Amino acid sequence: MNWKPASLGVVAAVLALVGCKGKPHAPPASPPLVEVAPVTQADVPLYHEWIGVLDGLVNARIRAQVTGYLVSQNYREGDPIKKGDLLFEIDRRPFKAALDQAKGQLAQAEARRGKTALDVKRYAPLVKDKAISQEEYDDAVQANLEAEAAVVAAQARVEQADLNLEFTRITSPIDGIASIANGQIGDLVGPTTGELTTVSTVDPIKVYYNVTEQAYINFTKLFATERDRYQRLGQLEIELILADGAVYPLKGKIYAADRQISPTTGALRVAALFPNPNNALRPGEFGRVRVKFDLASGALLVPQKAVTELQGAYQVVVVDADNKVHIQPVRIGERSGAFWIIQEGLHVGQRVVVEGLQRVREGMVVNATNAPPEAVAGVNRPAAD
């Protein structure tokens, strides 16, 4: 059969029309699923946090005060020790010999003083009777004075030698924890050879942190007089958050503030003290110092996960009663746990999106469900199987 070109075009058009009629239409897309949480209101404490580093309340750097060879180490490194405990001992034999020599010189000086004292006593009546000259008597008196001075000098040498002998026993001046020794048995040590070890008092333990100059200025504006500032500092509740995120169970108190703002960092160094009865905290640890400084009454709260930042501005996604979304700019205040305090832009009872923010846009209708408590609190949930 012969087909004309025009006939072929008609057949193709009919087949295409039939194919279009047979293709089913795609169903309308369902609204995206999001999780929402209500805007709540509560009285919440306000905290400031700074990075802190732990240090001993007292750090005694132990050095040798006399030069000699170490013959013993008498403590176990890292163990608690008491004031007066023996840490190291230097060979005492040279110092014992020096002490014996000094005692011998003292005995000689005392013997000479006795002789010159007798001469003065014997010459006194003779000079009155003109049996000896005044010059001879004066020489005897001067010799006795020299002998007295020699005794005093000899006594000082004995005391110094005795002190040097005592210094061969290197003891701890404080209660605390002793570090790993830098000196080893057989080393020649002395005042210029560096530290042998360090003993730190760790109960209580000190935490240093830096407060910005602006924060300090704000504090002085709130409490104008020095008395009010010291009273307020004594009332502050201080917590220590360890490196693993755990909160140390015992509260601390501010111990001291530095005398100046650091010209290099622009911050004020502050020290706080924390009880450390079990020596669980050690110098050198890092943590976060959290200070409760005020109470916000009737604060509006939203989960931190609900707030997004764009070029320095903050916003949340609000879901209304018809499940329609609206992007709402807000002004945030301080953090409180897993929540932001909202100063402007929201009111109590509004619903904000905490999960699914990337799936919504202005005016969209969503399928909103209440977020579980762990999502509101910012706890990571396990992934679904």
Residues 37-51: tens digit of each pLDDT: 999 988 887 778 889
Structure tokens at 302: 């939203």
Q: Return the SS3 of 333.
A: strand
In angstroms, how far is CA 83 from the centroid of its own chain? 25
Q: Quick check: 255 and 55 in contact, CB under 8 A? A: no
Burial 279-297, CB ≥16 within 10 A → b, else e: eebebebebbbbbebeebe
Mean pLDDT of 124-152: 86
- In a 10 Å sphere around its CB, with 0-12 CB exposed, 13-18 middle and 19+ buried, how is residue 310 labelled? exposed
Q: Return the SS3 of 218.
A: helix
Pairing of strands 68-73, 40-62: unpaired
Q: Quick check: 257 and 234 in contact, CB under 8 A? A: no
pTM of the model: 0.64
Q: Quick check: 171 and 61 in contact, CB under 8 A? A: no
Query: What is the C-alpha to C-alpha distance for residues 322 and 88, in angstroms, rounded to an integer?
Result: 80
The rounded mean pLDDT for the chain is 84
Q: Quick check: 70 and 88 in contact, CB under 8 A? A: yes
Confidence of residue 3 (pLDDT cuts 50, 70, 90): very low
Residues 206-229: tens digit of each pLDDT: 999 998 888 888 777 777 777 887
Q: For 79, which DSSP code?
A: S
What Rg, from alpha-carbon coordinates, does the chain have?
43
Picking from 32-41, 217-226, 266-275, 307-316, which range would have the lowest pLDDT averaged per residue?
Answer: 217-226
From the list 252, 343, 308, 375, the residue with the least C-alpha distance to 46 is: 343
In angstroms, how far is CA 349 from the centroid of its own chain? 41
Residues 7-60: tens digit of each pLDDT: 545 445 444 554 555 555 556 668 888 889 999 988 887 778 889 999 999 999
